[in-house]
Structure 1
Amino acid sequence: MSIRVAVQGALGQMGREVIKAVAAAPDMTLTGGCDARAPENTMSFDGVELFITADVNKCLVKTKPDVVVDFSLASAVPQTAETAARAGVSLVIGTTGLTPQVLARLETLTREFNIGIVVAPNFALGAVLMMELARTAAKYLDWAEIIELHHEKKADAPSGTAIATARMMQAARETPFESPKDETEHKSRGEEFYGVPIHSVRLPGLVAHQEVIFGTVGQTLSIRHDSISRDSFMPGVLLAVREIAKRRGQFIFGLNKLLGF
């Protein structure tokens, strides 16, 4: 049975990649798209004709998807999720910058309306492996910093991937990470999350990159992942769609949960 999929944020760069990937997947049917900038008509995306609207509810009623893939804005996610939940539609959310309060509400929606929701800071399989390797290294090395680099249009900083990595690293330890004993504040030292300084770079020419650097006496360890094109995220997105279509009542944060880590 084909999984019916609609895309929220369809006119964005990630939304367009999702449209191409879903349209090419043999076990999925692309039903429609929604975007705040959308006209009320059918649009062509690289040869794919797609009904698109700015109204999320209208999109769901007209196209009747099983799953909505959301790569829009953090501010739009709550309304999209509420609308989808009431329609019995599951969600795969790649939008970052979601607050703990929004995440808690998403988890509640899965139980209230018996839908499935996947929220992932990063859908690149290599990035998930990078985070897992960093979590393992964090058990043994007491100093760590993260440098994350993204394109200039990324709205949030630090990235959701960097924050999630820092959280996983600290959770793997019994003690906090070490940090320089300096009572003065240096803005160039990055912002700490879970005891790990994170440095954010935003430049044209970048897509999504992250390096976790560990240090100890006489040595360092660097773990780096680079997404050099947005199609690197698509295998993870399709995996999440396939899994959440059969996991009603479940809230899943992180693609690592679907990969068995």
Structure 2
Amino acid sequence: MNKVKIIVAGYRGKMGSEAVQMILKNDEFELVGLLGHHEVVSEAFGVPVFNKKEELIGLSADIWLDLTAPSVAYENTRFAMEAGFRPVVGTTGFTEEEVTELVRLSRVKHLGGLIAPNFALGAVLVMQFSKIAAQYFPDVEIIELHHDAKKDAPSGTALKTAELMAQVRQAHYQGAANETESLAGARGAEFEGMRIHSVRLPGLVAHQEVLFGGKGEGLTLRHDSYERSSFMTGIALGIKKVMQAKELYYGLEHFLDL
């Protein structure tokens, strides 16, 4: 059986280090390269370590697993496809225009790929359940809670959830027509009338609540990732699925039988 050869970009981070261990333990995967930042070692885990992504051109690899930072996510993903690697990206912060451009490039290159705002299967299911619920409960707010080292707000998961609900929800502004904020930002960020609130605290990993309100009733959907190991099942699934895909997809739900 031919193993899937994987490069991990951002291997020193908390997600990256967890992913490296998952790959090393999976008999179907083979770690072939690592990309870091200001590295002082040339090898780790028995594979070469690189400081610059351009040094990876020509390396025999199938997958570019990117767990870096929003500031370099688009550039890295574009580079990966130009180099012939299938990107599996867990970094958030992409604009709609960037995703559209990357999908276009993947079709030109005939390369499968995946950008996943969240790799936890439970989080993906909550996003899908939220889309269903928004057809019947159009008044909804999102609260996302993450560790205090997270750089982007709101989270990619919260934005993806809002985008999915917007596909079926009639856009309207929520709350009192004449409401005012005595403290700017108190009502959170606004997305097509929905509100998104971001919490950043030490001790958290990744959590989200989607709160729906209706006449005389409420509905709350919540997902909690207590450990980063919760993302590894989705990463492994994404790696396997993009090997058969012919273009890049935005969201792990495209690879689930929902």
TM-score bracket relative to the smaller structure: over 0.9
Structure 2 stretches of 5 or more lacking a match?
none
| Deviation of 1:135 (Å) | 1.0
Q: Does 1:124 align with 2:120?
A: yes
Which is further off, 165-174 or 218-227? 165-174
Calculate the aligned-residue CA RMSD, in Å.
1.6
Q: Which amino acid aligns with 1:204?
A: P
Q: Residue 199 of structure 1 aligns with which residue?
A: 197
1:155 and 2:151 are equivalent in the alignment: yes
CA distance in structure 1 between the partners assigned to 2:155 and 2:88 by the alignment: 18
Structure 1, residues 195-214: CA drift from partner, whole Å, max 9, x if none?
21011000100000000011
Shift in CA distance, 175/197, structure 1 to aligned 2, threshold 3 Å: closer
Equivalent residue, structure 2, for 1:215: 213
Q: How does 1:44-55 map to 2 (within 5 A)?
A: 48-55=45-52
2:177 pairs with 168, 181, 194, which one? 181
Give the Cα–Cα distance (whole angstroms) in 1 for the partners of residues 98 and 130 of structure 2.
Answer: 27
Q: Tell me the alpha carbon deviations over residues 71-108 of structure 1, each in whole angstroms, 9 at most, x when there is no partner.
A: 11122123322322222111001100112232122112
Q: Give the fraction of aligned pairs with identical amino acids, expressed as a percent.
A: 38
> Which structure 2 residues correspond to residues 45-194 of structure 1 after superposition, within 5 A?
48-62=45-59, 64-174=60-170, 176=172, 178-185=174-181, 186-194=184-192
Paired residues, number: 255
Q: In structure 2, the residue corresponding to 1:51 is in which secondary structure?
A: strand
Please report how far the alpha carbon of residue 218 of structure 1 lies from its aligned counterpart in structure 2 after TM superposition. 1.5
Distance 2:85 2:26 in 1: 20
- 1:45-80 C-alpha deviation (Å, 9 max, x unpaired): xxx333211111223434x21001101112212332
Q: Is the 8 A contact 1:170 1:195 kept in 2?
A: no
1 CA distance for matches of 2:129 and 2:173? 17
The CA deviation string for residues 98-134 of structure 1, in whole angstroms up to 9 with x for no partner, is 1223212211220222212201110000001111111
Cα distance in 2, alignment partners of residues 122 and 31 from structure 1 = 24
Question: Are 2:23 and 1:25 equivalent residues in the alignment?
Answer: no
Q: TM-score normalized by structure 1?
A: 0.92
Which one of 212, 226, 232 corresponds to residue 228 of structure 1?
A: 226
Structure 1 stretches of 5 or more lacking a match?
none
2:37 is matched with 36
Residue type matched to 1:258 in 2? F
Q: Return the TM-score normalized by structure 2.
A: 0.93
Name 1:251's counterpart in structure 2: 248
